Amino acid sequence: MSGDGLRQRKKDAKAKKTSGTPATKYPEISSIKSSILLFIAMFTIGFLALYPVWEPVPPSRGVSAVDFSADVPKREATVEAFKHAWLAYERDAMGDDEYHPISHKGSNLSESGGIGYTVVDSIDTMFMMHLDEEAQRAREWIATELSFDREGKFNTFETTIRVLGGLLSAYHLSGNDPLYLEKAKDLADRILPVFDTPSGLPLSMVNLAQRKGISDVDNRGFVSTAEAATLQLEFKYLSLLTDEEIYWEKAEKVMEVIKGSHLTTGLASIFMNPEDGRFVLSAIRLGSRGDSYYEYLLKQYIQTNLSEPVYRVMYDDAMNGVLTHLVQKSQKAGLTYTSELIPERSMGGEISWRLTPKQDHLVCFFGGSLMLGAITTGSATGKVSVPPRADELTEQGKRDWLAGVELIETCMRTHDTATGLSPEIVHFRIPNDGIDGSGAAQDWYIKGARPGEFPPYDARYILRPETVESLFIAFRLTGNRLYRDYGWAIFESIQKYCRIESGGYASVVNVDEVPVRHEDKMETFFMSETLKYLYLLFEDANVLPLSQYVFNTEAHPFPIFHPSIRTGFS
């Protein structure tokens, strides 16, 4: 395939660009500049005390000799688990978007029929696990049944990361089976109209049959930052494969808009306005609606083999903001965690930011991401050792590595529950938080959980992958067996509490309650991400090495490439 088209497009984009693109700052954000500055000062002082010592691995656990070969029995146990999930789905709901393993039923995202949400999301895991017969049947369904000519409101981001991402990695891992690329292109062409907004930020929903973007009325037409900024790996890889520039341009434009309106702290509020491309005054967090914005800054830099420095700048900036303003230490055990910043308006209209010690399980991707970033933008020497030595990393690299290691430890501590599973959301103790009783003794608690009452939303485990995703990355970057041990403990808990005897796996409604109560749903990311990352954690590290692959946010691996082009904006 040729990169010439892309190269020319980049030149054109540069020519079109007027110098000094005006900063598009959200007015309310600039009006609180002084609070932010005060905030920066306060947290910079606090931060200096956070990361004084270089310990490339958790110090109390030690490092075994680096051994990257497969742990075959454990790896095969994850394959057995995948088959238990897939075969039940295939038996009860083949082709349906979602699976309900207790009622043995499937359901679709729209009444007009499924879009391969589960089948497409799962097929690359089958390739990796060498489940050839299952993969062949999935392919057959895609060839004969899969249609994107579906009426309804489909989420732009979810459809892109799960279905477009799944098709693209299936294309690569199948040795370029044209079926997957053909389907990917059909889907992407139906999604493209979402970018036709005044700013270029995509609308949140799409009607695939009508090829029409739809505003998210529930959120006043605003688009979440993570969703807008987590389409880029997929559209850029498709652009490379098809040599069609439109996919690249649309995805890259979003990044240009975000860069143009970014906040002085390097942080990003969770909502943006697709009309004017500006941030809307809203929470700042690493959790829902914020998470993969930060993930894709780094991964876009990695995807094009470190050839687009603009993403390095944006990522480094963002990490300075996150490490300065959001990362905190818990009171008792000194656990590293991330807080959220919630904007509050006083009666007089003044804005201030309240630091809230709430961490979604979604944030647990961030430990591994920080470690990957540390050896990428934080490398002082180019290639680094496994694990990296202090002298191979810049000051920022060391800071991010240590924070990543510590954050993974914290995420593991949130698995200290009756089931060994981590809740959807935890809160950390802060002075004068009014917490007493059972939650008071430890650093974190599940808000609103009371014995004898129906558990709050925060208490559930919905088969999410983020902790094992970080464990996979941490193992690859350190060779420390501890991370395999952690992953195995989580896998055993999933086996014990989420596995449904008749087939499939289900969410649990309260991680702190045994025997568990199930919710009748197996999320597609269980087969796409959770079991895949567990499999790869125990697989030989030569398989899908991080030096050659970048995983999209749904764990679909794409090869890293060097397009020999410059970024169209800076």
Running DSSP on this structure, what letter comes out for residue 40? H
482 membership: H or E segment, kind and range: helix 481-497
Q: How far is the CB of 112 from ligand DMJ (least distance, A)?
A: 23
Choice between 555 and 565, CB closer to ligand DMJ: 555
3-state SS, residue 532: helix
* Helices assigned H by DSSP within 217-356: 225-228, 232-242, 245-260, 291-303, 309-321
Q: How far is the CB of 551 from ligand DMJ (least distance, A)?
A: 10
- What is the token pair recorded at 439? 């939650």
- What is the token pair recorded at 364? 């647990």
Q: Say which residue the tokens 């990522």 belong to.
A: 315
The Cα 506–Cα 520 span in angstroms is 6
Sequence-distant (6+) residues with CB within 8 A of 469 are 364, 365, 368, 529, 533, 555
Q: How far is the CB of 435 from ligand DMJ (least distance, A)?
A: 27
- What is the token pair recorded at 362? 């979604």
Choice between 134 and 158, CB closer to ligand DMJ: 158
Residue 424 annotated among the catalytic residues of the structure:
yes
Rounded (10°) angle between helices 245-260 and 309-321: 40
How far from chain centre, in Å, is Cα 480?
23
- What is the token pair recorded at 85? 């999930």
The Cα 409–Cα 279 span in angstroms is 33
Choice between 249 and 360, CB closer to ligand DMJ: 360
Choice between 443 and 523, CB closer to ligand DMJ: 523
Q: How far is the CB of 525 from ligand DMJ (least distance, A)?
A: 4
Q: How far is the CB of 47 from ligand DMJ (least distance, A)?
A: 27
3-state SS, residue 99: strand
The Cα 500–Cα 498 span in angstroms is 6
Choice between 101 and 290, CB closer to ligand DMJ: 290
Cα–Cα distances in angstroms (integers) from residue 101 to residues 24, 97, 113, 121, 342, in the given order: 48, 13, 19, 17, 38
* Helices assigned H by DSSP within 345-480: 365-374, 395-413, 466-478
Sequence-distant (6+) residues with CB within 8 A of 111 are 151, 152
Q: How far is the CB of 121 from ligand DMJ (least distance, A)?
A: 9
- DSSP assignment of 508-528, as one string? ES-TT-SS--EES-B-HHIII
Choice between 362 and 375, CB closer to ligand DMJ: 362
Nearest residue to ligand DMJ on Cβ basis: 553
Choice between 231 and 541, CB closer to ligand DMJ: 231
Residue type, 193: P
Choice between 216 and 245, CB closer to ligand DMJ: 216
Q: How far is the CB of 28 from ligand DMJ (least distance, A)?
A: 28
Other Cβ atoms within 10 Å of 458 Cβ, number = 20
Binding residues vs ligand DMJ (CB under 6 A) = 292, 362, 464-466, 525, 553-554
List the catalytic residue out of 424, 523, 529, 539: 424
- What is the token pair recorded at 372? 């990957």
Sign of CA dihedral 57, 61, 63, 67: negative
The residues that are catalytic are 424
